[in-house]
Chains A and B, each alone.
Chain A
Amino acid sequence: LAKTTQPISMDSYEGQEVNITCSHNNIATNDYITWYQQFPSQGPRFIIQGYKTKVTNEVASLFIPADRKSSTLSLPRVSLSDTAVYYCLVGGVSGTYKYIFGTGTRLKVLA
């Protein structure tokens, strides 16, 4: 069974760049990598998705190395409102349990 791991928690200060890494050693060929943000008592909210190399949108960047066994979510200039739990989700059409959530990283942004 594929396992997807992340650091349990991270602290950062407002205005800093935050990088959160997800390890997914058993990623399958057809799997995509998606990152979600979750606030208390809410469902996960989509941040960014990618398959390989680098993807950037208005809120984040996603870096995926050539072997795709890890991925890094980069949040530029975080603010207090970015305090949340961040999950990577690995999924596609291959194999069973095809959508695997990471263990989640609790990010705390300090003033």
Chain B
Amino acid sequence: EAGVTQFPSHSVIEKGQTVTLRCDPISGHDNLYWYRRVMGKEIKFLLHFVKESKQDESGMPNNRFLAERTGGTYSTLKVQPAELEDSGVYFCASSRRGAGNMDEQYFGPGTRLTVT
């Protein structure tokens, strides 16, 4: 079984540009999560999809971040326009069971975003 994959592995962009991160969850996993770790801080929850629906996006830092999961398969996280403080590692995870019964989340390797 293939694991969670993320693309790109590393992205370097200038302040004000747009970047789109992609996550492909494990096949059959309805739950998809986005997290990020900015320099020196803890891993922070961003949002949670159940299939194509946003179950909880309370962790999204501001309206420069837009996450989508069309068709309930892969997900994208777009940052527009990027700011310096957006630099960090963005992790995606997926799980099988519903959020009402927390299940093992499988994490991707992360996308390292550097905004200069």
Contact = CB atoms under 8 A, between A and B. Distances in A.
Bind each other: yes
Interface of A: 30-32, 34, 36, 41-46, 49, 87, 89, 91-93, 96-104
Given A32-B102, A98-B56, A104 B109 contact: no
Contact of A96 (B56, B100, B110): B56
B45 A46 contact: no
B33 A99 contact: yes
A103 B43 CA distance: 8
A42 B113 CA distance: 15
A45 B107 contact: yes
Pairs A-B, 7 closest by C-beta atoms:
A43-B107, A32-B102, A96-B58, A101-B43, A99-B45, A46-B104, A44-B107
Nearest to B10: A41
Nearest to A31: B102
B106 interface: yes
Given A98-B58, A101-B35, 13 more contacts: A42-B110, A43-B91, A43-B107, A43-B108, A43-B110, A45-B107, A91-B45, A96-B56, A98-B56, A99-B35, A99-B45, A101-B43, A102-B42
Contact of A101 (B42, B100, B102, B106): B42
Given A32-B102, A34-B104, A91-B102, A41 B45 contact: no
Contacts of A102: 42
Contacts of B110: 41-43
A10 B104 CA distance: 26
Contact of B102 (A45, A92, A97): A92
Contacts of A100: 45
Interface in B70-104: 91, 93, 99-100, 102, 104
Contacts of B35: 99, 101
Contacts of B102: 31-32, 34, 49, 91-92
